[in-house]
Amino acid sequence: MPQLLAVHADNPQPRHLARAAELLRDGAVIAFPTDSCYALACHLGDKEALDRLRIIREMDERHHLTLMCRDLSEIAKYARVDNAQYRLLKAATPGSYVFILEGTKELPRRVMHPKRKTIGLRVPEHPVALALLEELGEPLLTSTLLLPGSEDPLTEGWEIQDALAGRIELILDGGQCGTEPTTVVDLTGPAPVLVRQGRGALEPFGLSPE
């Protein structure tokens, strides 16, 4: 049964964040709240943890993962960002968006799309997520906590604990944070392309609803 730590949604306890960071460095897969919904996460450099995360989500290597970053400068380290892309990112971060961008050599090849060499990147707007990233001191590899066959992500700590018993090590339970996933925008082309409409507004990108 994964450990469940109740964290304050606005002011998460440092000892719980430290515990989560310690487990992530040791190869754990964890669940935590974000500004869209709960996410699964593992350490960027841990292949075994990444494989476990993909098995939980039943997704193959063509499914874009999301690298969750603390700020824009961190995004620029792991993705190729030109001036036009940077302006769009600056207007929409932090927030409930994932941006598809071309990865840099700082990323392990296994975390990028095998043909496009792209990855999803995001800067969250949730105190627990941001505090965890700060405690860890580096980005997290993440995916929406949407289990195969489910229409909506799980929102209750006990639900996650029951559903993922024996499959993850820790849940940071910050209470309900919503069930609407991020808006996904592909920025690799000459104009933004809407991949998935979610919680993030479309106006910053001049896009229309699907």
Query: Does residue 210 have a pLDDT over 70?
Result: no
pLDDT digits (tens, 9 = 90+) for 94-119: 999 999 999 999 999 999 999 999 99
Closest-CA residue to 99 (of 210, 20, 198): 198
**pLDDT (average), residues 175-202:** 94
Residue linked to tokens 């824009």? 72
Q: State the chain's mean pLDDT as an integer.
A: 95
**pLDDT (average), residues 147-167:** 93
For the entire predicted model, the pTM comes to: 0.95
The pLDDT-based confidence of 18 (bands split at 50, 70, 90) is: very high
Spacing of C-alpha 198 from chain mean position:
14
- With a pLDDT cut of 90, the percent of the chain lying above it is 91
pLDDT digits (tens, 9 = 90+) for 55-100: 999 999 889 999 999 999 999 999 999 999 999 999 999 999 999 9
What is the pLDDT, as a whole number, of residue 206? 84
Query: Does residue 197 have a pLDDT over 90?
Result: yes
User: CA 178, CA 15: separation in Å to the nearest integer?
Assistant: 25
User: CA 207, CA 210: separation in Å to the nearest integer?
Assistant: 9
Domain 3-200 annotated CATH 3.90.870.10:
yes
What is the pLDDT, as a whole number, of residue 166? 95
What is the pLDDT, as a whole number, of residue 209? 78
The pLDDT-based confidence of 23 (bands split at 50, 70, 90) is: very high
**3-state DSSP call for residue 18?**
helix
